[in-house]
Structure 1
Amino acid sequence: MSAPATVQESPSRAEATTPTLRATARRWRFWLILAAVAVIGLLFVTVASGTGTGSRSPYSITNAAPDGSKAVAEVLRQQGVDVVQADTLPQARAAVDAAPGATLAFADPGGYLTDDQLADAAELADRVVLFLPGFNELRAFAPGVAAAGAPRDIDGVDAGCSLPAAERAGTIIGGGQSYRAAADGDAQLCFRSSDDAYYVVSTETPSGTVTVLGAADVLSNEGITGAGNAALALGLLGEDDTLVWYVPTADDVVADGPADVASLTPDWVTPVLLLAVFTFLAAAIWRGRRLGALVVENLPVTVRSRETMEGRARLYAKAGAHTHALDSLRIGTISRLSSVLGLPRNASVEEVASSAAAVLPGWSLGDIRAVLVDAMPSGEGDLIALSDRLLLLENAVTSAVRP
């Protein structure tokens, strides 16, 4: 009987398969969706920024945003005033020359003009309305007017002057900046914002009449409808048949510096840098790895004020910063004393000390000044003594003003 034949089976071969397009797309689905969203967002932003024709700068008559002035310009045009927009100094000069007797509305919130350009702009028209001017604009257009800081009274500010536009407005909603003029001058001071500061100052200069307007809401699209804001804006800007609205832009900037890096760089550098950036992004996506699971960690959400105070005190003590620590205490005391004495927020230390001395017969002005500003600690003992004196002064003023 013969032995059964042995059948030798050949080893099975491992089949090599090439990934299909569907499998590759499924693997990279997240990154493809992310790239598509980024491209769509970029296209949307490009289209949105390209279709908008209006300016975004404040006080621009083509800016329909809340801080723009398109509304007042449109109302002036409906009233028959020819409102001409000028974006550069030559355009403003040409517009004024084309309409003699025109009113110039001027604002330079970006600070583009130099002193010489401001001096040229101040001589363009006989009647000028300045919007929230700074130091340089005031020096060029109205040297007798000075900035008075932030206003104190904002809502329902009465005219209190004989300026026709202000009388028609009655009251306005302020906000912005306040200004003051020399006491011996003949300037019209309207809409008092504090003791000697006003929202509107109209003065005569060698070039003509200059009206300084510090109420920001009078010209903005958001605030022009409040109280008599619209009446004041139309009264100041609509006196003449033509209004040249000049808000300087970057085209007014005089290029007098050295050549920039872009002009000195060869043309091939930018394409090479872009190619390097795209190559880096492609390599990062190709070799990137998914992050692991997020680790939840309970973070403190509440820090007690006492812990912050003690920590800062330890830092001051370790550094030996006795003067710095005392200054922090003095700032708080001066702020509270200003509130108790009824002084404005921008009151100086001299005003606070004088007011405190007026209500405290037993304290001299020198003693109060020493406590608030003059005395300097030489060690921790002096720091503690001066802090006690600050507390004693504050309690004495509070008891005298509010018994």
Structure 2
Amino acid sequence: MSAPTTERRATPLAEATTPTLRAAVKRWRFWLILAAVAIVGLLIVALASGAGGGSRAPYSITNAAPEGSKALAEVLRQQGVDVVQADTLDEARAAMDAAPGATLAFADPDGLLNDSRLAEAAQLSDRVVLFLPGFNELRAFAPGVASAGAPRDIDGVDAGCSLPAAVRAGTIIGGGRSYRATAGSDAELCFRTSDDAYDVVRTETSDGTVTVLGTADVLSNEGITGAGNAALALNLLGETDTLVWYIPTASDVEADGPADIASLTPDWVTPVLALSVFTFIAAAIWRGRRLGALVVENLPVTVRSRETMEGRARLYARAGAHTHALDSLRIGTITRLSRVLGLPRNATVDEVIASVAAVLPARPLGDIQSILVAAAPANEADLVAYSDRLLELEGAVTRAVRP
């Protein structure tokens, strides 16, 4: 069996060049644009979040959300009260030192202050307004007041006392917590919610006057407009020219756990690590530039198809792979038969055999199947014989289809 001799032309050598900056930018243009879009998007989100209104914590005077107290602080400022925000105990102490006699508004909803720091906060001012205090805050600021649980009446609760701020408010609405005065206390009780529970309790302590406020809606942006809530809040918190608004933050938490790795590491470790990373990056850039870019180099070699065929045949002969060699011949024959018969490229072997049998009705189907698939040569003579039969079958089909 012979095969046509074809030659693969030698292609010119590729020139090895280092890519320029423009070529590198053009190559990575898509990823650079994607990164720029991502950065711009992050900046827009960050700016939008920053413009959304500061802290999201309840009672925060920078929180414009429904549970925040920004509206109350702004109205107090419009009435001439200097509202000073303090996020730590030190800031609150500094603000009180700068304005002696100022009112201290205090709430610790997350329980960040321990007993000793609560005691320090209780001594900051002689006029304190507590927002929904828990057991620890009451013990530090107002030992004569106890918690009475959730209020029973929350809509249209009358003042029922002579406290000026409560009288001006008339009635308030909203839930939260209620409080009672302990035995022997001469506290003033306002806005009764049950038999011995009240929304507002004012008591005198050794450090001054403490007003316990248990209605959250009096402070929140969402609930301050209900009934006399605004009047109560403005009169309680606007009694002095300065109001220090102190809500503890995580900065107030005192570390009492084991030392971290940073405190145990010598001072020279961080500079050495930074220098090592910088050296590694510099060396990588230097060596990468020195090696240059990878290029494809085409070898100027012409390989004749006959040489390839003869070399593969010698390998088959040396290994005694007669069946493998015959399978290679069968693949070529089946491919050409499929093309002659007009079958699609994805036609199966069974479809080719059936089409050959239809074209050559005088030839048994088993004989065609044996030649194209089943027969296995035992030696080189059988291989040559089967090769001749393949050529004969291909010629018969060609003559039958194309007379």
- The residue number in structure 2 matching 1:100 is 100
Task: Name the SS of the counterpart of 2:130 in structure 1.
Answer: strand
Number of aligned residues: 261
User: Deviation digits for residues 110-148 of structure 1, max 9, x if unmatched?
Assistant: 222121111111111111100011111100000111111
Runs of 5+ consecutive residues of structure 2 not aligned to the other structure: 11-23, 278-403
- TM-score between both structures, scaled by the size of structure 2: 0.56
Q: Name the CA distance, whole Å, in 2 between partners of 1:159 and 1:127.
A: 21
Task: Name the SS of the counterpart of 1:146 in structure 2.
Answer: strand
Distance 1:227 1:262, change over 3 A: farther
- The residue number in structure 2 matching 1:192 is 192
The answer to whether structure 1 residue 115 and structure 2 residue 115 are counterparts is: yes
Residue 213 of structure 1: how far off its partner (Å): 0.4
- The residue number in structure 2 matching 1:319 is none
- The residue number in structure 2 matching 1:343 is none
Over the aligned positions, Cα root-mean-square deviation in angstroms equals: 3.6
Residue 12 of structure 1: how far off its partner (Å): 11
Percent sequence identity over aligned pairs: 77
Q: Name the CA distance, whole Å, in 2 between partners of 1:152 and 1:80.
A: 36
Q: Name the CA distance, whole Å, in 1 between partners of 2:174 and 2:196.
A: 16
The answer to whether structure 1 residue 252 and structure 2 residue 252 are counterparts is: yes
Distance 1:50 1:232, change over 3 A: closer
Kindly indicate whether the alpha-carbon contact (under 8 Å) linking 1:191 and 1:199 is maintained by their aligned counterparts in 2.
yes
- The residue number in structure 2 matching 1:328 is none
Runs of 5+ consecutive residues of structure 1 not aligned to the other structure: 1-5, 14-20, 273-403
Q: Name the CA distance, whole Å, in 2 between partners of 1:106 and 1:230.
A: 18
In the alignment, residue 233 of structure 1 is paired with which amino acid?
Answer: A
In the alignment, residue 163 of structure 2 is paired with which amino acid?
Answer: L
Distance 1:70 1:53, change over 3 A: closer
Q: Name the CA distance, whole Å, in 2 between partners of 1:237 and 1:259.
A: 42
Q: Name the CA distance, whole Å, in 1 between partners of 2:174 and 2:251.
A: 32
Q: Name the CA distance, whole Å, in 2 between partners of 1:121 and 1:245.
A: 12
- The residue number in structure 1 matching 2:126 is 126
- The residue number in structure 1 matching 2:69 is 69
Distance 1:176 1:37, change over 3 A: farther
Q: Name the CA distance, whole Å, in 2 between partners of 1:109 and 1:99.
A: 26
In the alignment, residue 255 of structure 2 is paired with which amino acid?
Answer: A
Distance 1:10 1:213, change over 3 A: same
- The residue number in structure 1 matching 2:175 is 175
Kindly indicate whether the alpha-carbon contact (under 8 Å) linking 2:199 and 2:215 is maintained by their aligned counterparts in 1.
yes
Kindly indicate whether the alpha-carbon contact (under 8 Å) linking 2:200 and 2:212 is maintained by their aligned counterparts in 1.
yes
Residue 76 of structure 1: how far off its partner (Å): 1.0
In the alignment, residue 113 of structure 2 is paired with which amino acid?
Answer: L
User: Deviation digits for residues 146-189 of structure 1, max 9, x if unmatched?
Assistant: 11122222121111111111111111112111111124421111
1:149-298 matches, cutoff 5 A: 149-261=149-261
Kindly indicate whether the alpha-carbon contact (under 8 Å) linking 1:157 and 1:174 is maintained by their aligned counterparts in 2.
no
Higher relative contact order (CA 8 A, sep 6+): 2
Q: Name the CA distance, whole Å, in 1 between partners of 2:211 and 2:233.
A: 12
Q: Name the CA distance, whole Å, in 1 between partners of 2:108 and 2:4.
A: 99
Residue 46 of structure 1: how far off its partner (Å): 3.2
Q: Name the CA distance, whole Å, in 1 between partners of 2:263 and 2:45.
A: 28
Q: Name the CA distance, whole Å, in 1 between partners of 2:43 and 2:211.
A: 45
Distance 1:180 1:34, change over 3 A: farther
Kindly indicate whether the alpha-carbon contact (under 8 Å) linking 1:169 and 1:228 is maintained by their aligned counterparts in 2.
yes
Q: Name the CA distance, whole Å, in 1 between partners of 2:209 and 2:124.
A: 12
Kindly indicate whether the alpha-carbon contact (under 8 Å) linking 2:53 and 2:64 is maintained by their aligned counterparts in 1.
no
Residue 9 of structure 1: how far off its partner (Å): 5.5
Distance 1:264 1:49, change over 3 A: farther
Task: Name the SS of the counterpart of 2:244 in structure 1.
Answer: strand
Residue 90 of structure 1: how far off its partner (Å): 2.1
Distance 1:32 1:236, change over 3 A: same
Residue 69 of structure 1: how far off its partner (Å): 1.0
Distance 1:72 1:50, change over 3 A: closer
- The residue number in structure 1 matching 2:58 is 58
Kindly indicate whether the alpha-carbon contact (under 8 Å) linking 1:180 and 1:198 is maintained by their aligned counterparts in 2.
yes
In the alignment, residue 47 of structure 1 is paired with which amino acid?
Answer: L
- The residue number in structure 1 matching 2:91 is 91
Q: Name the CA distance, whole Å, in 2 between partners of 1:126 and 1:10.
A: 104
In the alignment, residue 83 of structure 1 is paired with which amino acid?
Answer: V
Larger radius of gyration: 2
Task: Name the SS of the counterpart of 2:210 in structure 1.
Answer: strand
Kindly indicate whether the alpha-carbon contact (under 8 Å) linking 1:61 and 1:68 is maintained by their aligned counterparts in 2.
yes
Q: Name the CA distance, whole Å, in 2 between partners of 1:169 and 1:256.
A: 45
